[in-house]
A = this chain, B = another copy of it.
Amino acid sequence: MNKHGKIITFGEVIMRLNPPLKLKMQQAQQLDFTFGGTEFNVGASLANFGHEVTHVTALSTDFVGDAALRFVKSMGVNPDHVARNEHPLGQYFLEEGMGMRPGQVAYNRLHGAFANLNPAVYDWDMILQGADIFHWTGITPGISENALVALKEALAVAKEKKVQITFDPTYRSNLWQYGQDGQEVLKDLAGQSHILLGSVSEINKLIDTDYPKTEEGFKLAATELLKKMPNIKKVFGKVRADKSATSHAISGHAFNGEYLYEDTITITDIVDRIGTGDAFAAGVIHGLLTQDDAFALKFGLAACAIKHTIPRDINLAKANEIEEIMNGNLKGRLKR
């Protein structure tokens, strides 16, 4: 297989546990479990598109970590830079929403194997050798000081090696419990990166502005961002007009000096909403590695859309299946 690009992702591989069939946790006696984590989800989707992906992380040494490692391998992601330590694997519990009932998430990740990673074990020079893309998100530095230190080292080496840096600067207030000001850290790290996966609200946080969530607002915000953080060259965002837990509409826009827009896709019959942003990010990166910005936006939006119909955290749709969505084939007819 022709592998278009070499991508390095860095972040927690986290166990997902959720009751089946829309049960509340207190009603269940079995939990479905799988693994995810925003950066890994991006990497796994890119591996699925045929790219060469290495995911850098830390797992527990126990049999829970064994299961996570097997999952990483199953995705065709290179596991050579997966560290192990004696702390338990991070996890989240999910009660899925339905109609007007909100889904709920409960995390247990702040004292886990990834939070306790040893930054010294990662040889970023070797890891980033020959890489096209290094991808990070705002989750990682929010987990622990160790994770932040490792991320900073990775970014420094990536800069040195002229690796393109893509990032999703999600700020989560329930992270950042180790004594750093998350907003400030993210500004600093964003300034060292090149392609932002986010929209008006993310930009506003990065540059302390208050642009409205409109087309005009996005243009102004992105323009100002590229001025203030000159390393950043492009912004790709999706806009969600959610109607209920199971029906949504999404559109996409981007700014690379020019404004690009991708029209709404309506999503019904949602199977799983987790990982749809990661599917967008992976789609955009795939587009950038194989074609151009317009294709990247369009492909990213279609990838995001179809992910809503795929269970669990990772987008398993193939590139050609996503291209069918791009081409407006939304009827979902049976293929014999």
Contacts and interface: CB of A to CB of B under 8 A. Distances in A.
A15 B113 CA distance: 19
Contacts of A26: 63, 66-67, 70, 316
Contacts of A104: 62-63, 334-335
A124 interface: no
Interface stretch (A194-202, A224-232, A269-277): A269-277
B100 A64 contact: no
Contact of A63 (B25, B88, B91, B329): B25
A2 interface: no
Nearest to A91: B108
A64 B25 contact: yes
A120 interface: no
A105 B75 contact: no
A67 B24 CA distance: 9
Can you tell how many copies of this chain the complex includes? 6
Contacts of A245: 269, 331-334
A267 B100 contact: yes
Contacts of A20: 21, 30
Nearest to A272: B22
Interface string A41-82: 000000000000000000010111011001101111001000
A27 interface: yes
Interface stretch (A140-148, A214-222, A291-299, A303-311): A303-311
A261 interface: no
Interface stretch (A31-39, A153-161, A252-260, A279-287): A31-39
Given A73-B73, A73-B75, A76-B73, A101 B64 contact: no
A249 interface: no
A98 interface: yes
Nearest to A243: B331
A5 interface: no
A334 B245 CA distance: 8
A149 interface: no
Given A98-B269, A102-B333, A172-B336, 17 more contacts: A24-B67, A26-B67, A28-B67, A64-B106, A71-B74, A73-B74, A88-B106, A88-B108, A91-B108, A99-B269, A99-B308, A100-B330, A100-B331, A103-B332, A103-B333, A108-B108, A245-B332
The 7 closest A-B pairs by CB, nearest first: A245-B332, A74-B74, A99-B269, A88-B108, A101-B309, A62-B106, A111-B111
14 contacts: A20-B21, A22-B271, A23-B311, A24-B311, A71-B74, A73-B76, A100-B331, A102-B335, A103-B333, A172-B336, A174-B336, A245-B331, A245-B332, A245-B334
